[in-house]
C-alpha cells in the first residue's frame, strides 16, 4: 500500500497544486481512520458509495492508498435506484475504469416490489406526499441497502456535519441501531471547501453535475441545482421541510441523537 507521502511526491500522481500543511494533515488523519477501520473490521467493513463529492474523495483514498492490484482493501457498494442521473452512472463507469481492482457491487431495487409500487402509486407519486416519497425511498434505497449490509459489521459513509441541519451532531463513529452495525464517517469534520481542494489537487474523478450547482446529488427527479451559497441539501426533496430531508439511509433522529 502506498503511503500518502509517496503518492503526493510521485511524478505520476503529482498534485495539480500543493496542499496546505493543514490539509495534508487532515488528509493523513482521514487515511488513518480508513486504515484503522479496515484493521478493526476486515471483511465485515463496506463503503456505501453514493458517487457524490465526499465519496469521490474517499474512493480516491481507497483506490490510491489502501488497495493493491491483487486484493481490494475495502469492499464498496452503489445503490442504483433506477432513477439515477446519467452523470452519476457515467462517474461509476469512470471509477471502475480508473481503479479496476476496486470491488464495487451494485444493488438494484427488487423488481417485483418496485413494479408493484409504481403500478399502485404512479411513477412520480413521491411528489404528492412525504409518506409516498418515503415509501419510494423504502423500495428503491432501503430494501437494497439491507441486502448490501447483510453480514457486515460496519459501514463507511461520506456524511459531514456541515451538510445539513439533520447532521450537525454527527460523530466519526456511531452505532446504527436501525441496521445493527457501526457507522463510520471519516469526513465528518471536513468542510465542503476542503473536500473540493483535495479532489482538485489530486485530480480525482467526480460527478459532473457538481459543476452545475448540484452540491448534493440523489435520484434525478428528487434533485435540482441550488443557488450559490445556499444550503447544500436544499436541492434534495426541495418541496419538504429541511428537518425531514433524509431518505432513511441516514435517520434524522439517529443523526441528532447526540443533541439530546
Per-residue pLDDT at 231: 79
CA 255 – CA 86 distance, rounded (Å): 30
Q: How many CB atoms lie within 10 A of CB 122?
A: 12
Cell of 150: 447483510
pTM value is 0.85
d(CA 152, CA 180): 9
**Does position 253 have pLDDT exceeding 50, yes or no?**
no
Average pLDDT, stretch 53-69? 87
Q: Which of 62-71, 139-148, 215-224 has the lowest mean pLDDT?
A: 62-71
Give the pairing type, strands 154-156 and 173-176.
unpaired
Q: Looking at residue 248, what is its pLDDT?
A: 58
| Predicted pLDDT at 70 | 56
**Mean of pLDDT over the chain:** 86
Per-residue confidence (pLDDT) for residue 257, from 0 to 100: 43
Q: Are 60 and 94 in contact (CB under 8 A)?
A: no
23-41, pLDDT tens digit by residue?
Answer: 999 999 999 999 999 999 9
The Cα–Cα gap between 151 and 123 comes to 32
Told to judge if 247 belongs to the known catalytic residues of this protein, a careful annotator would answer yes
Residue indicated by cell numbers 467526480: 206
Query: What's the CA gap between 35 and 73, in Å, rounded?
Result: 9
Catalytic residue from among 136, 137, 222, 247 = 247
Output the pLDDT for position 236: 87
Cα separation, 160 vs 190, in Å, equals: 6
Tens-place pLDDT, residues 153-167: 999 999 998 865 655
Element (H, E) at 8: helix 4-9
Check whether 80 has a pLDDT greater than 80.
yes
Give me the pLDDT at residue 219, please: 95
203 backbone φψ class: left, alpha, beta (φ>0; ψ -120 to 50):
left
Q: What angle do CA 200, 24, 102 make, to 5 degrees?
A: 60
Can you tell me the distance from the alpha carbon of 127 to that of 150, in angstroms, rounded to the nearest whole number? 31
Amino acid at each position: 500500500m502506498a503511503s500518502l507521502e509517496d503518492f503526493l511526491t510521485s511524478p505520476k500522481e503529482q498534485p495539480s497544486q500543493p496542499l496546505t500543511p493543514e490539509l495534508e494533515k487532515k488528509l493523513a488523519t482521514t487515511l488513518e481512520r480508513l486504515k484503522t477501520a479496515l484493521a478493526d473490521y476486515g471483511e465485515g467493513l463496506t463503503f456505501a458509495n453514493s458517487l457524490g463529492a465526499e465519496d469521490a474523495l474517499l474512493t480516491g483514498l481507497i483506490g490510491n492508498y489502501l488497495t493493491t492490484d491483487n486484493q481490494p482493501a475495502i469492499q464498496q457498494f452503489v445503490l442504483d435506484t433506477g432513477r439515477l442521473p446519467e452523470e452519476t452512472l457515467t462517474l461509476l463507469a469512470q471509477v471502475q475504469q480508473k481503479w479496476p481492482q476496486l470491488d464495487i457491487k451494485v444493488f438494484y431495487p427488487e423488481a417485483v416490489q418496485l413494479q408493484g409500487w409504481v403500478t399502485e402509486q404512479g411513477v412520480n407519486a413521491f411528489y404528492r406526499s412525504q409518506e409516498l416519497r418515503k415509501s419510494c425511498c423504502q423500495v428503491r434505497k432501503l430494501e437494497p441497502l439491507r441486502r448490501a449490509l447483510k453480514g457486515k459489521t460496519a459501514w463507511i459513509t461520506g456524511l459531514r456535519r456541515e451538510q445539513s441541519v439533520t447532521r450537525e451532531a454527527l460523530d466519526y463513529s456511531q452505532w446504527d441501531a436501525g441496521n445493527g452495525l457501526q457507522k463510520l464517517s471519516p469526513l465528518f469534520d471536513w468542510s465542503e471547501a476542503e473536500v473540493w481542494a483535495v479532489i482538485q489537487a489530486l485530480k480525482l474523478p467526480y460527478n459532473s453535475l457538481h459543476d452545475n450547482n448540484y452540491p448534493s446529488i440523489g435520484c434525478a427527479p428528487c434533485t435540482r441545482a441550488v443557488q450559490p451559497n445556499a444550503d447544500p441539501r436544499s436541492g434534495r426533496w426541495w418541496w419538504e421541510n429541511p428537518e425531514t430531508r433524509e431518505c432513511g439511509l441516514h435517520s434524522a433522529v439517529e443523526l441528532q441523537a447526540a443533541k439530546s
